[in-house]
Amino acid sequence: MCISHCGCEGEDMSVAKLARILSIGFACILVPSLSRAQSVSPYSDNVTIKQYLREAGGIAKYVAPGRLRLAGRRVLCGKRPSVLDPEFDTWAGAYTKAGFIIVNPIYMRQEPKVVQLYIYAHECGHQFRGFDEDTADAFAIRRGVRQGWLKKRGMRQVCVFISRVPGDAEHPAGPVRCRRMMKVYKTIVVRHNKAVVRKKKIRRARRRGVVVGSR
């Protein structure tokens, strides 16, 4: 989670503009184009989706839960809607208590399919698991493996993306974060494969009429 007021307190600005500035995190003291990945703000409690859409002045678009498509694939984050905002200052953001995800479609289209899906899943992880970045990363990786869109090659693409992001006071540098994510990925894949094998065994046993108990 990145938080920085960037000297904005006390200024008269729209809710959407304030939300964007808060979501940038430490972008004002690091390289802006590379330090804005998947940041969230605890101040989002005060920004409702209606306020955001109103203050965006018609630029942002509301997308109902389950209706958003990224790279040709429908994405879902429970009952939480999304907002497409081409002027949002990063790839995506999560407003946790208000319960919506903001996506910049222009930034997203510049990334590989698997990276787009990872970014959205990461923001969904913030919605379900809170502000911790490592936890949101693990959530996204677990979802990607379970849904079948995150394979070894895709994980490398995600790592390339993350490695572009410099560190700050609350985040490790991208390459460090990448190494952590690769460890999580390997652990999740092993668990997932074991679960798949067990399910196949159970199905085969049931076809033979064998009752399989749970341990």
Question: Would you kindly state where each structural domain of the chain is located, as residue ranges?
Answer: 15-207
User: What pLDDT was estimated at residue 87?
Assistant: 94
pTM score, two decimals?
A: 0.76
User: What pLDDT was estimated at residue 34?
Assistant: 37
Quick one: tokens of 2?
């990145």
CA angle, 82 as apex, 81 and 85 as ends, to 5°? 155
Low-confidence ranges of the chain (pLDDT < 50): 1-44
Quick one: tokens of 215?
């341990």
User: What pLDDT was estimated at residue 170?
Assistant: 66
User: What pLDDT was estimated at residue 5?
Assistant: 23
Closest by CA to 76, choosing from 148, 143, 159, 1, is 143
First vs last C-alpha separation in the chain: 39
User: What pLDDT was estimated at residue 124?
Assistant: 96
